[in-house]
Chain A
Amino acid sequence: MRNFTIAALAAAALTAGPAMADTVKVGYMTTLSGSAGIIGKQMQNAVNLAMEHTGGTLGGQPAEVIFVDDQRKPDVAKQLANRLVKSERVDVVAGVIWSNLLMAIHKPVTRSGTLLISSNAGPSPLAGKDCHENFFSMSWQNDQTPEGMGKYMEEAGIKSVYLMAPNYQAGKDMMAGFKRHYTGEVAAEVYTKLGQSDFQAELSTLRAAKPEATFVFQPGGMGINFVKQWHQSGMDQVSNLYTVFTVDNLSLPALKDTALGVISTQTWSPDMDNEMNRRFVADYKAQFGGYPSFYAAQAYDTMMAIDHAVAKAGGADTDAMRAALAAGGIPTTRGSLAMNTNQFPIQNVYIREAVLDADGVATTKITGTVFENHADVYAKDCSF
C-alpha cells in the first residue's frame, strides 16, 4: 500500500551487472507526517541522495527503496514492519528515528531473519541484554555522545556542573552517560517536562545557583526553546553552556546567531574532512538548499553500509551481509567505521562549536576529538 518507491530498477537493468542479479529491497522507515516530519524529510533526502551516488544500485545490484511513514506511533510502526517483512519481503529494514518505535519493531523484524539497521535510535537494551545478531546500528548508542562531553569537561578542569534533561528514558541515559566520565561535582540534576516550551523557571533557579558550567540535553523543538531563552536571559554571563543533541543543523536555522559559541559533542559534523562526507554535504546543500543534519548523515551512512554489505556478500544473502557488516570497515561520512561485538559502531566522538560559515550560515565546526574509537559500555551484556 504505502509504496513511495524509487524507480531505480530501469537504470540498473541497463548497466551490465551480474546476469541474473536479484533486486536488493530496502524498507526505509521514518516519520514523514506530523510535527517530526522535518527529521524524516531530511533522512529521506539523504537516502535518495545515497541512491543517486550509487547509481541506483546497492553493492552493484539493482535496488529498490520503499519508504514508509511510521507517524511516530509504535503500533503503526509495528504494522509497517510486518508489511515490509512479510509482504514486500525486503532484505533490510532500515531507518527509525525514535527509541520506542525501534523497540516496537525490533522483535518482529529480527525474528523473521531480516536485517534491521537503525539510522538513529540506539536504546541501551538493544545494545545490551536484548541485542540480536540481525540488528545493527549505524548511528550511536545513546550514552556514547554524552560520555564524550563528560570526558571533555573533566579534562577541561571543570569543577562543578549543572545538569538538565527532559524527564524520559533518553534524558536519563544521557545524564548517566555524562556522569560515567565526569568525576567533578554535580551542582544539581534537573529533569524538565518532556515537550516543555518555556524554561524560564529552571533558568531562574540556575542563575541563583551560579554553576561554573551547565550541561544540557534538549532535543528537537525543546532545544530551540532552551537555547533561545538561555540567550535572552543573559545566561552566558552566568554559566558556560555545553550540550548534546540540542544545537545541530536542524535547530540552527531557527536559532541562527543565537546559538553561536555553544559547545557540543557528536560523532559527526558537516565539516568532517573525508571524501565521502565532502561529497555528501556539498551535494545535499546543492540539492536541498541547506546543511544536512546528523540524522541525514546517518541515513546516508545506513545506505552506504547496505551498499558495502551487498557488495562484499555478493548479493542480498542475510548471513553473508551480516558477516560483512559485523567485520566493520564500513565506509561512511564518519570515515571507515568498526563494529563492536553488539554491532554498534566503534567511533570517534568530536567536540563541536556552533559557528557561522563563509556565507554567514550557522553550522557546527569540529574543534577537537574527545574519544578515538569509542565503544559503548553495554556490549559486555550482549551475547547472541
Chain B
Amino acid sequence: MGVFSILRDGLARNRLLGLILAGFALFPVLSGIMDEPFWNDLAMRIMLLGMAAMGLNLVLGYGGMVSFGHAAFVGIGAYCVGISQFYGFDNGWAHIAISLAACGLLGLVIGFLSLRTTGIYFIMITLAFAQMLYFLFVSLETYGGDDGMSIDRADFMPIDLWDPLRLYYLIWAGLVIVSLLLMVIVRSRFGVVLEAIRGNESRVEAMGLVPLHFKITGYVISAMICGLAGALFASWQEYVSPDIMHWSRSGELMIIIILGGIGTMAGPLIGAVAFLLLEEWLPELMHLVAPAYAENWMIIFGPVLIGVVLFARGGLVGLLARIGGRRS
C-alpha cells in the first residue's frame, strides 16, 4: 500500500481524529469572534499535551510498553531549545532538529536499557531514568536549576512568530504531521508487528523477527514525538523548568491516554481535551455549587476518573463509539 492510500484510508478510519484536528484549525475563528484570545492559549496547551500523549500512545497503546517516564523526553525537547538559545543559537527549525536528535538518542539508550524488562518492572525502570534526568536538571545551576530558564520566541524563518496566532498554527501543523505520521506507522508492516508483539511476543519471534528491534524503534519514534512537543512547548511557554519532567507529569500523560482511550488514534487528543477542560471547568462548577470548596475541586475530579474506569470501558473513545453505535 502506498503512503497516500494509507493516509486516505487512515482518515476514513479515524474520522474522530480528523474532526478534532479540523476543530482545532477553526477554533481561533471562534475565539476571535468571541473576542477571547486567551482561549487559544488553552487550546495550544491541549494540543501540546495531546501531541506528547500521542507520542506516548505509540509505545503504551500500540506497543504495550507502559513507559512512566515520557515527560522526561518532553523536558529534554524543551531544554534543547533553552540551552541552544543560551549559547546564542537562535534558529527555531534547528532547535526542533536538535530536540528530535537528542530525544531520539536518549530514547535509544533508555529503550535499550529498559526493554529487557517487562510489565511493572518496565514501568519502574522508565520512571527511574526520568527521575535521574529530573534531578540532573534541578541541580544544573547554569541553566537556572529549579527556577528554570527564560526563552525568547525563536526565529522560525520565514514565519515570524510575533503574532501568537502563527505560533498556534505552527503547533497545529506539528500536531497534524504527528497524526499523519502515526496513521502511517500504525498501518504499516512495522505497526502491525508492534501490535502483534503486544499480543504475543513469542509468536512474533517464531516468525523470525527480533521483537526487541521493533520495540526499540517504536520507543525512539515515540521519544522523538515527545521531543517535538517539548520544543514547541518551550516556544509557547517562553520558559522551561524541570517541572515538566516531574514524575507527576509523566503520570498526567498516562492518565490522558487512558482517559481518552488506549491504543486509539483519537484517544490521546480527546483525553487531553477532556483532562484540561475538566481542570478548567470543575473549579468553576464548584464555585457555583459550593463556593467555600471551590479550591477543593479535586474531590470531584478524582471520582470522575474512577467513574470513567468503571462505566466507560475503553475510555472516552469507547464511550463515544458505544453512543454512536446505539444511535445507528
Contacts and interface: CB of A to CB of B under 8 A. Distances in A.
B38 A78 contact: no
Given A2-B283, A100-B241, A169-B141, A194 B146 contact: yes
A126 to B, nearest CB: 10
Contact of A87 (B37, B45, B284): B37
Contact of A79 (B42, B149, B296): B42
Given A86-B38, A103-B239, 20 more contacts: A1-B280, A4-B294, A40-B295, A69-B295, A71-B279, A74-B239, A74-B241, A75-B45, A78-B238, A78-B239, A79-B38, A79-B45, A82-B38, A87-B38, A103-B147, A103-B149, A125-B144, A125-B150, A168-B146, A172-B145
B296 A104 contact: no
B150 to A, nearest CB: 6
B168 to A, nearest CB: 12
A106 B238 CA distance: 10
Contacts of B86: none
A192 interface: no
A2 B146 contact: no
B163 interface: no
B147 A169 contact: yes
Contacts of A37: 295
A82 B41 contact: yes
5 cross-chain pairs, A with B, having the tightest CB-CB distances, nearest first: A168-B146, A83-B38, A32-B295, A169-B147, A169-B145
Given A74-B241, A78-B239, A87-B37, A169 B144 contact: yes
B287 interface: yes
B237 A75 contact: yes
B146 A169 contact: yes
Contact of A86 (B37, B148, B237): B37
B244 A123 contact: no
B146 A83 contact: no
A4 B295 CA distance: 10
A170 interface: yes
Q: Which of B36, B42, B241 has the most CB of A within 10 A?
A: B241
Interface in A103-126: 103-104, 106-108, 123, 125
B297 interface: yes
B170 interface: no
Given A2-B283, A74-B237, A74-B239, A103 B148 contact: yes
A20 to B, nearest CB: 23
B298 A194 contact: no
A279 interface: no
B121 interface: no
Nearest to A104: B239
Nearest to A44: B295
Nearest to A121: B147
A167 to B, nearest CB: 6
B117 interface: no
**DSSP class of B's interface residues: helix, strand, loop or mixed?**
helix
Interface residues of B, number: 36
A79 B283 CA distance: 16
A130 interface: yes
Given A2-B280, A41-B295, A100-B146, A167 B37 contact: no
Contacts of A2: 280, 283-284
Contacts of B155: none
B243 A194 contact: no
A348 B207 CA distance: 77
A53 interface: no
Contacts of A71: 279
Given A37-B295, A86-B38, A108 B238 contact: yes
Interface in B42-62: 42, 45
A100 B139 contact: no
A172 B41 contact: no
Interface in A48-80: 69, 71, 73-75, 78-79
Given A73-B243, A104-B237, A167 B41 contact: no
Nearest to A78: B237
A4 B287 contact: yes
Contacts of B244: 74-75
A336 interface: no
Nearest to B296: A33
Contacts of A83: 38, 41
